[in-house]
């Protein structure tokens, strides 16, 4: 019996040793997997968190409505530059209230001249562009609707790519509620970021017959290409889907067929003039012009000699084009308000 007990004990001891060895190996393997994959998972979570933060921070990198300081509080008014105006409040389809200035030519002339909708760049407010608007009003004799994007100046909301493009459509729709202009002569003008907004609207088939022509000045091809230029060469490896704001004007311009004027300051150190040339080359319009002004930088090309004459020549060309039939007014724009 003792011999049998000893054999049983030996067998059980062997089994226990094997189980202990197996358990130890399992623990070791589990520890190694935990260290490797746990770190991998932790790193992945950290990476996704950083990407999420950067994704949501892109709006703050692109839009600067608070520069210079007090730009969200104080908006210079047109009368400071001897421009007659009405202060307008426009409701967008997503219930944002846009602050705008309607600067009209004298009543006997306003129905016979082009009307320019003016979209500014990514900083400040529309009041900071009144000197340029003064030149358009007195040199080109146009009506002008100046629009404050959502989140800028006294407009409500926060800026986003979709939001700004909706704001531009609301501005076009607003003009179709007025009877003191010729709505077959609506011209969209945009500088820098405003140019990307303009290209988005004119590439929209639903708005094609609402707009006579477009003018863009010192605007860019798209945000990923600007990020590549301004940040680091490695930015090119970031997939496009990681860009919250893309403003892919290079793609949209290929569907634009209306008369187009591209104004480029050759001394622009922010948006390279080659981008304007690329937009011009890819535009499908048969009535397009590229004006390159030496000495013009990103924000002051409008002070260059020949600037207003170039626009006047373009408007004369547009005036000789057959007018497109304007769509009838619709009730959906009843929420437009004047204040």
Contact 150, 164 (CB under 8 A): yes
- Yes or no: say if 245 and 223 are a contact pair by the CB < 8 Å rule: yes
Query: Residue 104 in contact with residue 95, Cβ under 8 Å?
Result: no
User: How is the chain split among helix, strand and coil, in percent rounded to 5?
Assistant: 50, 15, 35
Q: Which of 155, 192, 249, 264 is catalytic?
A: 192
Q: Are the beta carbons of 146 and 190 closer than 8 angstroms?
A: no
Which residue in this structure is represented by tokens 């945000």? 223
Helix (H, G, I), strand (E, B) or coil at 216: strand
Q: Is-cis flag, bond preceding 68, omega within 30?
A: yes
> Taking a C-beta distance cutoff of 8 angstroms, is the pair 155, 90 a contact?
no
| Choice among 208, 255, 298, 300 that is catalytic | 298
Examine the residue annotation and report whether 298 is marked as an active-site residue of this protein. yes
Closest among 78, 86, 152 to 122, alpha carbons compared: 152
**HSE (CB half, 13 Å, CA atoms) of 331?**
0
For 103, the token pair is 């600067």
Asked whether 195 and 215 are in contact (CB, 8 A), the reply is no
Closest by CA to 264, choosing from 199, 219, 198, 318, is 219
3-class DSSP state of 97: strand
Q: Which residue has the tokens 């609506």?
A: 186
268 is annotated as an active-site residue? yes
Catalytic sites, residue numbers: 192, 268, 298
């Amino acid at each position: 019996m003792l011999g049998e007990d000893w054999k049983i004990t030996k067998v059980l001891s062997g089994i226990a040793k094997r189980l202990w060895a197996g358990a130890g190996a399992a623990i070791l393997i589990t520890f190694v997997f935990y260290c490797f994959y746990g770190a991998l998972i932790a790193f992945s979570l950290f990476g996704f968190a950083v990407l999420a933060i950067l994704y949501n921070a892109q709006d703050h990198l692109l839009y600067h409505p608070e520069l210079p300081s007090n730009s969200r509080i104080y908006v210079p008014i047109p009368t400071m530059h001897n421009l007659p105006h009405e202060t307008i409040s426009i409701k967008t389809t997503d219930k944002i209230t846009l602050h705008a200035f309607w600067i009209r030519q004298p009543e006997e002339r306003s129905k016979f001249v082009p009307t320019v909708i003016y979209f500014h760049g990514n900083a400040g407010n529309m009041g900071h562009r009144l000197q340029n608007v003064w030149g358009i009003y007195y040199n080109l004799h146009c009506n002008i609707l100046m629009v404050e994007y959502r989140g800028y100046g006294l407009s409500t909301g926060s800026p986003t790519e979709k939001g700004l493009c909706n704001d531009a459509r609301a501005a076009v729709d607003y003009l179709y509620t007025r009877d003191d202009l010729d709505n077959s002569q609506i011209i969209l003008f945009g500088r820098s970021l405003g140019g990307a907004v303009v290209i988005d609207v004119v590439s929209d088939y639903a708005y094609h017959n609402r707009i006579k022509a477009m003018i863009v000045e010192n605007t860019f091809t798209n945000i990923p290409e600007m990020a590549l230029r301004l940040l680091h060469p490695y930015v090119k490896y970031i997939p496009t889907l990681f860009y919250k704001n893309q403003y892919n004007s290079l793609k949209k311009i290929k569907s634009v067929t209306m008369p187009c004027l591209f104004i480029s300051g050759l001394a622009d150190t922010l948006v390279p003039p080659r981008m304007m040339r690329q937009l011009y080359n890819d535009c499908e319009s048969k009535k397009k012009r590229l004006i390159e002004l030496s000495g013009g930088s990103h924000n002051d090309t409008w002070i260059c000699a020949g600037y207003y004459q170039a626009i006047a020549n373009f408007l004369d060309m547009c005036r000789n084009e057959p007018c497109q039939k304007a769509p009838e007014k619709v009730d959906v724009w009843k929420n437009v308000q004047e204040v």
